[in-house]
Amino acid sequence: MSKFSDIIGGTLGATIANRFLLGIYTLFIVSILIFSAIAFLPGDYAKAALGHSATPETVAALQKELGLDRPAPERYLRWIGHAAQGDFGSSFSAGGTQRRLVIDIILPRLKNTLLLAGVTALLAVPLALVLGVLTALARNSFLDRLLNAATLTAISFPEFFVAYVLMLLLAVKFPLFSSMASMSADMPIVEKLARIALPVLTLTLVILAHMMRMTRAAIISLLNSSYVECARLKGLPEWRIVVGHVLPNAWAPIANVVAFNLAYLVVGVVVVEVVFVYPGIGQTMVDAIRLRDVPVIQACTLIFAVTFVVLNLLADLIAIATNPRLVHPK
């Protein structure tokens, strides 16, 4: 028995290590794509910052100061080496005599984005799981059809349209919430939650449909399994069958879709942050693109990539933990 457990543990450890190494390799490839995409963008920051009247000597001096005169491979290695240590360099466009560190610019904005994503996740994930279970148990009923129609409608509209409709209804016609999600560091948490109510509602409507429908599909497919039929023959109530037998086996697909939507809450909030003028990392990246602030753009996109890879890695680990058969590839 001990030998068998050692074999299973070793296989599980090797599977987790392989997933981790795959995540590192994915981040490496993504970092090259990020750097290359930004490096090949048209225009030059030094020329844009100094204006058309700048002399070639002045432009060359600024390029040398910013390190833009070095070869692209050298600039990439310097950037990724420092980024791996948490050093994203200095912002190009920060004012003053001393340039601000990129980490000092994006860290407060990242905290705001995580607050928005965290509150949305606390609201959307439990609600999606509950509605998914209810529609699976009441499939083909009026409630199932109503919720499916509502979720399909929510999926059909882009985020900015949902945001503007909610802003029109709940901030203009019926002024229950603020249309602008401006925040400050010293603002009480209650006021912060009131300010982000409309962005949270927008993001909840956007991600709720996908998670609910995936939960519904996973549970319905398992309700037709033989072990569920055996549980029914034993006289177990339907809710006990779902909680005790179906959900433990449905966590793998549900965890994947939840992780994907949680990654979207950090990676895909750019549109929502711009609409509500929310001081998050998405708004920061948009401002950096407008100012051609390359270090800030690279830092934001790399943070987005790390978030997506880490959350998908966690989803894989949850799927393996809840379904050990995934350890052994077919």
Which of 30, 65, 83 terminates a domain? The answer is 83
- Running along the chain, 330 residues long, what does each successive block of 10 average in pLDDT? 45 75 88 84 67 73 76 85 84 65 88 89 89 83 84 81 87 83 78 86 86 84 78 75 75 79 80 87 86 85 87 78 59
Give the contacts of 73 (CB within 8 A, at least 6 positions apart): none
Model-level pTM? Answer: 0.79
- Spatial separation of the C-alpha atoms in residues 80 and 73, rounded to whole Å: 11
**Within a domain: residue 43?**
yes
**Within a domain: residue 62?**
yes
Q: What is the predicted pLDDT for the residue at 4?
A: 39
- Do 177 and 39 belong together in one domain? no
**Within a domain: residue 15?**
yes
Q: What is the predicted pLDDT for the residue at 61?
A: 80
- Do 158 and 27 belong together in one domain? no
- Do 166 and 129 belong together in one domain? yes
Q: Under DSSP, is residue 107 helix (H, G, I), strand (E, B) or coil?
A: helix
The CATH number of residue 302's host domain is 1.10.3720.10
pLDDT tens-digit readout, 248-266: 777 777 877 888 888 888 7
Which of 65, 83, 101 terminates a domain? The answer is 83
- Do 38 and 180 belong together in one domain? no
- Spatial separation of the C-alpha atoms in residues 250 and 248, rounded to whole Å: 6
- Do 191 and 283 belong together in one domain? yes
**Within a domain: residue 76?**
yes
pLDDT tens-digit readout, 290-314: 877 888 888 888 888 888 888 888 8
Q: What is the predicted pLDDT for the residue at 324?
A: 59
Q: Give the count of domains, the chain.
A: 2
Contact 144, 217 (CB under 8 A): no
- DSSP 8-state secondary structure symbol assigned to residue 292: T
Q: Find tokens 């429908």 and name the residue.
A: 213
Find the DSSP H helices in 84-225: 102-137, 142-156, 159-167, 189-195, 197-223
Q: What is the predicted pLDDT for the residue at 327?
A: 56
- Do 59 and 183 belong together in one domain? no
Q: Which structural domain range is residue 323 located in?
A: 109-327
**Within a domain: residue 279?**
yes
- Do 79 and 121 belong together in one domain? no
- Do 54 and 162 belong together in one domain? no
**Within a domain: residue 206?**
yes
Q: What is the predicted pLDDT for the residue at 43?
A: 65
**Within a domain: residue 96?**
no
Which token pair is 78? 């310097």
Contact 322, 256 (CB under 8 A): no
Which token pair is 143? 């409630």
Contact 218, 254 (CB under 8 A): yes
- Do 175 and 37 belong together in one domain? no
- Do 44 and 178 belong together in one domain? no
**Within a domain: residue 321?**
yes
- Do 136 and 206 belong together in one domain? yes
Contact 34, 301 (CB under 8 A): yes
Give the alpha-carbon dihedral of 258, 259, 263, 266, to 10 degrees: 60
- Do 176 and 302 belong together in one domain? yes
